[in-house]
Amino acid sequence: MSHACPVQNCSSQVASHLYMCPRHWRMVPKPLQTAVYESYQKDGRVSVNHREAVRVVEAAEAGRSAIKLPPGTRALTIYQPWASLIMIGAKPYEFRRWDFSLLPALAKLVGQRIVIHASVRRPSLDELNDILDRIEQGESALKADLAEPLVRQMSAAVGAKVADLHMAPLGVALGTAVIGQPRRVVDIFKGAVADSDRLDEHMFGWPLASIEPFPQPVPAAGAQGFWSWS
């Protein structure tokens, strides 16, 4: 037994024990996936959670259709506030513990435009305050004049337990950037510079330039590493 994927214009047939085709299901944020599972286990029927999952996917598909990017464009999921800091030009490097250009399949990304996607992970107040402390102490790779206002605004919102972090939204694609040749951090900075508390990951800086924000954030589930946007 099978049924059609409930997402509009999707012709995929889905096994009876699944709700959506695999491609669209991967676009549903993990918390909503869990809610879909739990409501079906409880009631044995399609619920408001199922309908919300379809709405989220269709909104994401509509957003992707409106943005013309070449086939094969890759995306990179980044925690907030880092993703939004990239989009405002305050974070010129993404720091990781590996050099992606050493992998033949990824080396071709150097000089290419990638999608910057914000993770669904909500930053803690301690994390945000640590960023502000590092900026004040001159130990940050961020552009302080651009970064500090956004981080302070976000810190206030998180401290007040505001649900909607509109200044740095979660679980959405924010825009694109051109990714450059990774460089060792010791070759980039003369002093000890770190813009998060995960110092062991500050081995390579991935340059991000020519930032182009989307007109509106596009809902997307994201994934680890580089993943296929189109």
Q: What value does the mean pLDDT of the chain take?
A: 89
Inter-helix orientation angle 48-66/30-43, to 10°: 150
pLDDT > 70 in the chain, percent: 94
pLDDT tens readout for residues 190-208: 655 544 444 445 589 999 9
pLDDT tens readout for residues 108-155: 999 999 999 999 899 999 999 999 999 998 888 899 999 999 999 999
User: φ and ψ at 86, to 5 degrees?
Assistant: -60, -45
The third-level CATH classification (topology) of the domain covering 74-228 is: 2.30.130
For residue 191, the model assigns a pLDDT of: 56
Mean pLDDT within 48-77: 88
pLDDT > 90 in the chain, percent: 62
- pTM for the model stands at 0.80
For residue 196, the model assigns a pLDDT of: 44
CB 165, CB 58: distance < 8 Å: no
Domain positions in the chain are 2-66, 74-228
For residue 60, the model assigns a pLDDT of: 81
For residue 202, the model assigns a pLDDT of: 57
